[in-house]
């Protein structure tokens, strides 16, 4: 299946791209999409991983289509054609 990742703010600037198309073979977990596939893109790692814990940041903005993912990403799944919007951690106001 194919999902689309829309990057906002710093993430878009870091990658120089606004939209990614990602083919997923066997996995449909959101966590896997972010930790395995997106971390492969140079420039995104700094924004997605907390340097102190070396784990995924707890303060990312994530939306699946227009629904925001709150709290844990563990149980979230994505489906064919979903648009996953990602924005970085809050900075300032």
Partner 1 sequence: MPGGYKDRIIRVDLTKPRVSIELPKEEHKRKFLGGSGLAAKILYDELDPKTDPLSPENKLVFMTGPLTGTLAPGFGRFVIASKSPLTGIWGEAGSAGYWGPELKFAGYDGMILEGRAEEPCYLWINDEDVELKDAKHLWGKDTVETEAIVRSELRESKSRILIIGQAGERLAKIACIVTDGGVAGRCGLGTVMGSKNLKAIAVRGSGRVEVEDEARFHDLVGEIHSIMNNDPRTKSLKSYGSAGSMEGNEAVGDVPIKNWMVGSWPDGARKLSGQQMARTILKRPVTCFACPIACKREVEIKSGPYAGVKGKGPEYETMASFGTMLLIDDIEVVAKANDLCTRYGIDTISCGSAIAFTYECYEKGLLTKEDVRGLDLSWGNHDSLLRMIEMIGQREGIGSVLGDGVKTASEKIGKDASEFAMHVKGLEMPMHDPRAYRSLALGYATSNRGACYLQATSHWVERGMLFPELGIKERPDRFTSEGKARMVIDMQNFMAIVDSLIICKFALSCGYTLTHLLGLVEYVTGYSISIDEFKMMGERIFNLKRLFNNRLGVSRKDDRLPERINKPSPEEGTKHSSPDLGLMLSEYYRLRAWDEEGRPKADKIGELEL
Using CB under 8 A, list all residues that contact partner 1: 8-10, 12-13, 46-47, 51-52, 57-61, 63, 66-68, 70-71, 85, 87-93
Q: Which is nearer to partner 1, 1 or 17 (CB)?
A: 17
Q: Which is nearer to partner 1, 25 or 92 (CB)?
A: 92
Beta-strand relationship, 67-68 and 61-64: antiparallel
Q: Which is nearer to partner 1, 23 or 90 (CB)?
A: 90
Q: How far is the CB of 57 from partner 1 (least distance, A)?
A: 7
d(CA 13, CA 55): 22
Q: 73, 52 in Cβ contact below 8 A?
A: no
- DSSP alpha helix (H) spans, the chain: 9-15, 30-32, 45-48
Q: How far is the CB of 70 from partner 1 (least distance, A)?
A: 5
């Amino acid at each position: 299946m194919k999902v689309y990742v829309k990057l906002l703010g710093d993430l878009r600037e870091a990658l120089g791209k606004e939209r990614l198309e990602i083919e997923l073979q066997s996995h449909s977990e959101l966590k896997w999409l972010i930790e395995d596939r997106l971390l492969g893109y140079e420039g995104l790692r700094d924004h997605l991983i907390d340097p102190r814990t070396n784990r995924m940041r707890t303060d990312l903005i994530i939306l699946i289509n227009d629904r925001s993912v709150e709290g844990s990403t563990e149980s979230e799944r994505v489906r064919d054609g979903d648009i996953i919007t990602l924005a970085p951690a809050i900075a300032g106001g």
